[in-house]
Structure 1
Amino acid sequence: MNKTRILAAAIAAVSLGALLPCSANADDAPSPCASLKRIVAAAPDGLASLTPEDGKGVAQPYGDDAQCSASRGSYQCTWTPHHDAGSSADALQGVAADIASCLPDATHDQNSPGRQHFYLGTRAKRTDITLTRADSSKLRLVVSGK
């Protein structure tokens, strides 16, 4: 009976060890969904209250050099996709997929290799989300509201 308990305790310890990480590797990167939802929640009247950091989570899976800015009517970020993100068209499609999955209520009304457009709300109070190529090597995300 004693050997059975020791064996059970050893199995439990090994099982628990498999579930726990060996080292602390916290991923402090903001998630695309959290960033997108925070930006869209601020639209249309609170976009100016957003900081440059608020949009970096949208770009971070695809690029590290996001430059974001807010104004009264829009919030925009521009970044260069990582080489491992594929072409800028591939990265554009990846961000569009993030937008579609994170904001399921958004209508995706334009899908082309160089431009993706989504909107939320009615014409009177609409939030537009536009993703384009800023140039041959950069992407631009613009969220604007009426």
Structure 2
Amino acid sequence: MNRIRILATALAAASLGALLTGSAYGDDAPSPCTSLKRIVAAAPGGLASLTPDDGKGVAQPYGDDAQCSASRGAYQCSWTPHHDAGSNADALQAVAADIASCLPDATHDQNSPGRQHFYLGAKGKRTDITLTPTGSNKLRLVVSGK
């Protein structure tokens, strides 16, 4: 009887271990913080090295159609917020809250329904983060370095 209990315990532990290490979960998507920190770390001079996928984690909690691009001086993404995200203004505020919590050293110098602006760094080596609505149903994030 004792051998059966030991065997059952070993099987349960092995099954749990396989589940925990080999399973994918719905929340395995990149987090907004991971994506934001990666983008900001590349600024100001390395934004062109980023890929379109680097910014999708910022949008994923709010929209599934993020289109991102990189250039020498800026990285930008635009997406359509989910219907359950509320209005564009609500989604704009939610993404701004993510930026503020993920980048506590950023200065939030503009907070309006039409524009959220943050910056990091001293003049001459500043990284700007701007979030705006575009059209009636899209948001646009631009990270640029000076």
Decide: shared fold, TM above 0.5: yes
Q: Which residue of 2 aligns with 1:86?
A: 86
CA shift digits 1:35-80 (9 cap, x unpaired)? 0000000000000000000000000000000000000000000000
Map 1:11-22 to 2 at 5 A.
Answer: none
Residue 144 of structure 1: CA displacement?
A: 0.1
Q: Which residue of 2 aligns with 1:97?
A: 97
Q: Using structure 2 for the length normalisation, give the TM-score.
A: 0.85
Q: Which residue of 2 aligns with 1:111?
A: 111
Q: Which residue of 1 aligns with 2:59?
A: 59
Q: Does 1:47 align with 2:47?
A: yes
The gaps in structure 2 that reach 5 residues or longer are none
Q: Which residue of 2 aligns with 1:26?
A: 25
Q: Higher helix fraction: Structure 1 or Structure 2?
A: 2
Q: Which residue of 2 aligns with 1:121?
A: 121
Residue 24 of structure 1: CA displacement?
A: 3.9
Over aligned residue pairs, what C-alpha RMSD do you find?
2.7
Residue 135 of structure 1: CA displacement?
A: 1.1
Q: Which amino acid aligns with 1:116?
A: Q
Q: Which residue of 2 aligns with 1:75?
A: 75
SS in structure 2 of the partner of residue 64 of structure 1: coil
The gaps in structure 1 that reach 5 residues or longer are 1-5
Distance 1:47 1:124 in 2: 16
Q: Which residue of 1 aligns with 2:140?
A: 140
Q: Which residue of 2 aligns with 1:3?
A: none
Q: Which amino acid aligns with 1:103?
A: L
How many correspondences in the alignment?
143
